[in-house]
Structure 1
């Protein structure tokens, strides 16, 4: 069996930074000299090639155009490589990796996102372990020689998660991500343990396809006690917003004030899609379970079920790019298409 070929894609972020010991400032690492910096990679049973954005992007500056760029790199190299590892800043990694999960249809190879909380040159860095294990995971094959992982994953601090199930929960700890509504795909310890029952599989026989039509004309409304009509009037005045995510309380609950329900009704009359997503990190939307969500159910607002806000945003942009009517949109959004909801 030939060595797996892994393409390492550096987009930016802390993992690709090293400290200039003369100035103390962080600067981008030269990935052409990756093996010099991380000599342990020589011992991995795979061939590694690297490609980097011309200008590294801080994850706070990530946008849909950068997602398309990552998708195009994977598309151009899909036939030549057995797996892909994307190095990305942690702040928006859940957004980007969720977006790629929708953009890459019928993916039959691993695309593993990873990063770090400390730069690669720091003495206590978590970058080396995250990078080495991500490459190992992308190299894994089953008994038939096929990639063990065939989806977009996010690896951080000894755990591989389904990317579109993740949320960043901590800005200081190495254990920065969580997947509260879906179990890990793999855990790294003395041995790599793969939970095969949790892995996603695309429909066999269908060709790999990359979707590049992303429409980001969406908005996010996080409900809070004391929210006013005045603070929401701008959404009604907009002529560009095509979809709004409502981050509601608990199991999808919202205020029952007449002005608020009237606002939602007017939004729907404008043809704007409304999606109900819970503010809670774990759990799901169950409209109608409590009286405070009955009106939302009657308005036929789309249920986000147990999807994360990050994945909901990515899925919205992906579906808007496919241009579908209101009834079709509701059916598709509420249906699991990449393992993003239960």
Structure 2
């Protein structure tokens, strides 16, 4: 079968690989329809996140069940399904406390990084990580359920209220999803973005979308009743210093973007005196089932997919969302918010 395989730093290749087979009585084989390109996939390609050489990348996969093990009960051949990539050993201390993303053996279970992922024609996994897609849901919306789960988890842990004002720093795929969810829960949703294409896209979702240079305290006071924000999401990964200056008393700051080279300094007394919290456990969601239900009431979700490319056009799909050319490293304009690869 055809699959997109991680080769080396900034190098992936579409290769012919062996088609996977069921490994257990509770295994499920899925003919992949398509997979969303996540920021994690982009960071793997950029060399910012580790992946095993020879691993099929991708983890936001959906498709049709073509074979099941003898003990599988929740899905059957012909069902449309999505794959939960948050997998773990299930027996370590953290897993037994429900903190699967902190699994002591997590590196052995990372779909698309250390075990084969979904940028392929077929995927085989365990039944407990396979969820049936509602008949009314499009493939495109289903591909966004997993990242939607991360976002939904984030806002639930931030205890979002109807009167809250929310700032989302960055309007890429996750940032735009944060703005979409915020628009359903909060009084005010504000986004930032440097890229004009994404800024225009986000302006259809958020109440205001500003270039970062426009995000002054005076502007914030103008659009938010002379108040700072209740919730700020850093969807870029290097904007917490901005959040620290614009968060109100009792506010919640959520780092969601990933940039392990970024560091920020702060005074602990500021957090104590102002009652500000940083919420870091955004990945520990395990709420795919809840996200599936929530997604059924989000008709805008499928419109978040701005590019559909076949698997053999993966370079174009990556280039559209990275802001630079995969092969040459040259900068190029963004032309997509969320790209998906169709298998």
Give the TM-score range, shorter chain.
Answer: under 0.3
TM-score of the aligned structures, taking structure 1 as reference length: 0.24
Pick 1 or 2: higher relative contact order, CA cutoff 8 A, min separation 6: 2
The structure number with the bigger radius of gyration is 1
